[in-house]
Amino acid sequence: MFRLSLAVATAAMLAGCAGDSGRYPSLAIRDAERISGQFTPTARAVEPVAPVASARDLAAIVDRANASSRAFANARPAASRAVTGARGTSIESDARARALVALADLSSLRSDTAIALGDLDLIAAESAVAFAPNRMSPQRRHRWQRWWKNRTAR
């Protein structure tokens, strides 16, 4: 009995699949699928991109970086002498304490330079993302790149 009902069900399903081959829908493009009309883009006014920083702001940051770099260079010999004088002394010695303070001062001056350079990097990144005009003249950029190359070569 089970086999008979299974055979009838299978025959009914196969009968639904069989049909006239001439009655399939056409795969041609229908009228509703055709593109009609014209597409004309509207002209938009292009707004100028405002600079991220003014030339005065850039010059102030570069001057700040140069000043802190000079301060570092001026403090370095004294710190080097303090470290040399503290070499071989005990942990509790005054010479060692002076050397540690001199090194901390150098680290602070180095951080001041790094902050100014970070500000320049931030402005460069913001202007690149905003497609803002670069306000640094080629001569100043060349001097800046030469200064940076000399600073990192040490």
The string of pLDDT tens digits covering residues 96-152 is 999 999 999 999 999 998 999 899 888 888 877 776 555 566 677 777 777 777 776
**pLDDT at residue 6, as a whole number:** 73
154 by Cβ neighbours in 10 Å (0-12 / 13-18 / 19+) ranks as: exposed
Most distant pair of Cα atoms in the chain: their distance = 108
Q: Which residue has the tokens 């292009």?
A: 46
Average pLDDT over residues 21-28: 75
Q: Which residue has the tokens 């010479």?
A: 95
Tokens of 103: 């090194």
Q: Which of 121, 139, 117 is nearest to 66 (CA)?
A: 117
Residue 82 and residue 105 in contact, taking contact as beta carbons nearer than 8 Å: no
Residue 61 and residue 120 in contact, taking contact as beta carbons nearer than 8 Å: yes
**pLDDT at residue 134, as a whole number:** 58
Residue 111 and residue 56 in contact, taking contact as beta carbons nearer than 8 Å: no
Give 21's pLDDT tier (boundaries 50, 70, 90).
low
Count of alpha carbons within 13 angstroms of residue 15, beta-carbon side: 6
Q: Which residue has the tokens 């005009």?
A: 133
More confident of the two residues 114 and 2: 114
Positive or negative CA dihedral for 24, 26, 27, 33? negative
Q: Is the pLDDT of residue 22 over 70?
A: no
**pLDDT at residue 132, as a whole number:** 59
Give residues with Cβ within 8 angstroms of 112, minimum separation 6. Answer: 64, 68, 71
The string of pLDDT tens digits covering residues 35-85 is 777 777 777 777 676 777 888 888 999 999 999 999 999 999 999 999 999
The CA distance from 125 to 127, in Å, is 5
